[in-house]
Chain A
């Protein structure tokens, strides 16, 4: 959580992280981490494989699956907050081609 801490404390760290460019960049990195569910999907597939290979038992799977689902929800919340598209939830056919 180092990056996030720096952002939260940014005003005090201004002399060090002083340029706007740096802040933008850090902000972008954090945003990408908060809104990308690819690593969660990969973790879920790896977990599935561990179960299939008999490396973990059912109880362990269920426990770790719950953690991953929580991470999915957090990413979804961040995406919604930042006005990005989310998977899941009701959809309909887009009315015009412009939404492509």
Chain B
């Protein structure tokens, strides 16, 4: 953006606040207007509410643009939701949702009023945590070779008869190790889910990223059980500290547990 354009745009903002688009972060239950500070996407835009009855959309003014999901933009979106979440139960909107006007935001609140209200009730005082588990392949293989008699015997045999050991014996070993690893992965994941069952309301497993990850899950947790959940995760990560790396994040808005299909179309 050239300096000229910037000046033009800030003039437009001060002249008519409603003339621009609205970036929507989330929906909360609130029947009056509220400010959340200058923390919005696109360099600290003012974050405020657009309300309809007892529902409010948390928004900031934005030019009509397509936001790339860069780390900077995603973090700005996320930071607003984190701030709102300290006080409210919220339904997060997808990253990059821009409406042309306040009127269009109100139309969303009106047309989806019942679904938003129902989901907000279900999500009342619940938060989400993310848990990714990665393993160290070499260590897991070492553990398997130590604990699995059949594999250990076969490996010893191959090592002893290095020259004469057949291709097939090696293939056989590879297959056994693969199977044992898959079994171990399933066992770890099942154990983690089992141990977290009592301290969470629900869980969802997402596709794993890369070849070292064995679990990529989200857990829905009661706010009042946050500490118990926290302690449990830490205890499990200690239990497996030699084999597994835990990446534990949150609290998040319930991204993985809200699925309202909004009937939105492109505004031209």
Contact B104 A93 (CB under 8 A): yes
The verdict on A94 contacting B263 (CB below 8 Å), with A72-B69, A88-B67 known, is yes
CA distance A90 to B267 in the complex (A): 5
Pick out which of these stretches binds chain A: B25-33, B46-54, B93-101, B194-202: B93-101
Interface string of A45-63 (1 = CB under 8 A from B): 1101100110000000100
The answer to whether B263 touches A90 (Cβ under 8 A) is: no
Residues from 58 to 90 in B contacting A, C-beta threshold 8 Å: 64-71
**A94–B68 CB distance below 8 A:** no
Cβ of B132: which chain A residues have Cβ within 8 Å of it?
49
The number of inter-chain residue pairs (CB within 8 angstroms) is 79
Interface residues on B, range: 35 or more
Query: Interface size bucket, A side?
Result: 20 to 34
**B66 A91 Cβ-Cβ under 8 A:** no
Question: Which B residues contact A (CB, under 8 angstroms)?
Answer: 21, 64-71, 94, 96-100, 104, 107-108, 111-112, 132, 134, 207, 209-210, 213, 245, 247, 261-267
Query: A-side interface residues toward B, CB under 8 Å?
Result: 42, 44-46, 48-49, 52-53, 61, 65, 69, 72-73, 76, 85-95, 97, 99-100
Top-7 shortest CB links A-B = A88-B66, A90-B267, A91-B264, A94-B263, A92-B267, A94-B265, A93-B107
